[in-house]
Structure 1
Amino acid sequence: MNMPVLSATGLVKEYNIGSGWSGQRRTVYALSGVNLSVDAGETLSIVGESGCGKSTLARCLTSLVAPTAGDIRLDGAATGELRGRDAQRFRRAVQIVFQDPYASLNPRRTVGQSIGDGLRLHNICPRAERRDRIGDLLIKVGLSPDHIDRYPHELSGGQRQRVAIARALAVEPRLIVCDEPVSALDVSVQAQIINLLNDLQASLGVAYIFISHNLSLVRHISNRIAVMYLGQVVEMGDTHTLDAALLHPYSRALFSASPEIGRDRNGARAEPLSGDVPSPLAPPSGCRFRTRCPFATERCAAEPPQLRRVAGREVRCHYAESMLPSMTTNARTAANL
């Protein structure tokens, strides 16, 4: 069995916020025990409502934010205490492309300078060859080498995001975390960027963790999908398995709410989500989705469900088996083996 490029086990991130008028400090539970892994050349997509912890997860996985607890491993080696050259190797292996192309590039630095920083810091090529290397990277992302001396304000949003991708590729990473990289772009440009990412993955073998609100897009580009709710993964599996049937009530409602999808993957109209996402300052007891779940019982309030394997995917629900479409009891039992 091949070693994952990056894996996270029991990942927790909590923020202590100011006391305010009450005089009491409070804790934001941004991530609560997230487990995931991504293999070479694979695309793992993370979906969920705003505030579910997707971007916090991205920043923890790229060491931009230190997790409160949990274990992150690169090629099987722990990354929590990396220092010096080991930390530098990790930053080269794991890159990030941010959501807003208008904020992710320094307006005072040219395209060549922004891309060249990685080449210089990681000593990837001699200084005399750096300009040619940057030109090649610009061609690879669909831009002209003539863009090398331009500033961000001279570029369109799509061109800026291509520069951001070239900057990530410059250091030859194993994994790129794409934090909603097309949400700020026009629809026609979104398709171009997605096709570019697919082409780069096919030619370079780079892995992606792709964070997005666009569920139709996620189904199109992903090998596996993880659905997050209030800091936890509630369902995760390969795209074909989830496309056949979603087992967590939140996953079903989330996907059926998409205008492009319309119905849940079981073929029926799912119950619409009611109410707002609870505050991460005070998550509900037991199952965190129970306050919005049409199937919640007393057990859901008393006992937190564990992420367990059901019908070829991981799902966090006490009653996941009851969501299986058209399956006999024996078939459901076999699916759990």
Structure 2
Amino acid sequence: MADGRAERIAKLIEPLRVKPGSHVNLAKDFDPRYKAGLKKKRGVDLLHTGVLLLAEYQERLAAQDTYGVLLCLQALDAGGKDGTIRHVMSGVNPQGVRVSSFKQPSAEELDHDYLWRYAARLPRRGEIAIFNRSHYEEVLVVRVHPELLDRQRLPEHVRGADVWGRRYRDINNWERYLTDNGFKVVKVFLNLSREEQRARFMKRLDLPEKNWKFSAADVRERRRWDDYQRAFSEMLSATSTKWAPWYVVPADRKWFARICTAAVLAHTLMDIDPHYPVVGKEARKDLQAARQELEAEAPEGAPADPYAAGHPIPGVGGEQRRTGRTAKRKQSPAAARRTKNGKRA
């Protein structure tokens, strides 16, 4: 882009991108407290800019109605997924965004393949869909708790030692299929440190209005910290692809996590570069006829085109059309009936 926004965004998120084919050790390769040398005050301004940018591109995405975007958000408990969604998407049109959260699968969902319930919540063309937790739960929580695999009632020959390798392959192929059909997949892992998670849990315990967000199960899952770190590392290594890369966003500082998530999503939309539809020749004739009729209805002394009077528009017309002061107007039938001897009745 001429103003350099795309280049600046790409530079910000490049250190967060998991290179396809690389081997990830989450604890060593990514720092949860990384902030790219930014200060929080500057970060507030950057987030505001990112929100405005997303609003601009979302409107174009919806108007073009060709591509859809799926944002997958993964994190441990207290990772900041809800707050990130709330802040990053605060400026977009709610009609163009759909957020889905995935809890424990229902009996109906367990009667289908493990990707079925996620496929049912994919975006439409022109829409952004956000998965608050996603199909990656099937290689994270289910892997840390293999007993959950029993509930899926898989055929015996499928329950082999390479079940996770097959799921990585299936997910990669599914995301490639979506991308080939015009649905961009962007994946963000909010990387939280163990100590920051503890601090956020304590806050939820200390503040009565936060108690509802805490569950004893959160502490039980925390005991499996190392297991989750291994599962995350293997997932990132196996499923960051050229067509659907992972971005590991430092999450200890909420403000920086929100900036990065907005930047990743904006980068995806700018890569699509959606445009407003171009009106065809026949449709343009209809628009011109509508313009003439509406201009003819303007009251005496009022601008023929109130908007263009204050906003010069290339191709709309000269000063006469913008001001309406000396423009000759073709009278509508209703206006003609209100005239007598060439003067207003």
Could you state the TM-score of these two structures normalised by the residue count of structure 2? 0.27
Larger CA Rg, structure 1 vs 2: 2
Could you state the TM-score of these two structures normalised by the residue count of structure 1? 0.27
Would you tell me which structure has more strand in proportion to its own residues? 1
Would you tell me which structure has more helix in proportion to its own residues? 2
